[in-house]
Amino acid sequence: MYRWEITRTALEQRVFAIVRSDSYERVTATADTLLGAGITSLEISLTTPYALDAIATLGRETGEDCVIGAGTVLDASAARAAVDAGARFLVSPALDAEVISTGHRYGVPVFPGVATPTEMVRALELGADALKLFPASGHDPGWLKDVRAALPQAPLLPTGGVTVKNAPEWIAAGAVACGMGSALAEGDREAVAKRVTALLQRLEEAVPVPSGRRGR
């Protein structure tokens, strides 16, 4: 798959799960629960012990059915290690040119962290495939809507503080997708499945209708 195809697939549900834990066993169990609930895109944070092993295992088990990426990718060496482990996309809390160039060298999309319009423009100049607005808790959907009025070309992914309740508000404001962690994965399998099903429907309903299609 080309980078743009991976990006489209990774963000297709308008939400990607972020899995971070204190052990390989917990991170793979959480990932399994989310995937079983219907999530098709998730990132494994490299702050998790044996995160690269988890990425490799999940990639083998899910094949083309899901898109498994690496999160908290801080430098070029971490980016290369994640790619070698099978990560299909890279996410970072910061903007680092070498992370972007390393991912792109191997055909892997990169979603760097940004917090200001200046960083958004710089990330676009560096070729970022989407922009992780982090932490989203420092802003609100109205702020994102104002930014997108000036930068409509910026594909923004609010992450950090996004909840099941306000995720549709971010999508309605123009976000491409939201990154969600514990807010999505709390509870047993049944609770997670119900939450994911309801959220995916609400996110689909929240997508703004292009002005040219109104009234048709």
The one-letter amino acid code at 211 reads S
Active site residue 165: no
Residue 132 appears among annotated catalytic residues: yes
* Biggest CA pair distance of the chain: 53
d(CA 56, CA 76): 19
Pick the catalytic residue: 12, 25, 43, 190? 43
Contact 116, 156 (CB under 8 A): no
Active-site residue, from 61, 132, 165, 194: 132
Which amino acid belongs to residue 113?
G
Cα–Cα dist 178/13, whole Å: 9
Tell me the two tokens of residue 91: 């996410």
End-to-end CA distance of the chain: 35
Contact 107, 25 (CB under 8 A): no
Q: Facing residues of 45 across strands?
A: 71
Q: Which of 67, 49, 162, 179 is nearest to 112 (CA)?
A: 179
Burial of 113 (0-12, 13-18, 19+ CB in 10 A): buried
CA 76 vs CA 55, 88, 177: distances in Å: 18, 16, 25
Residues annotated as catalytic are 43, 132
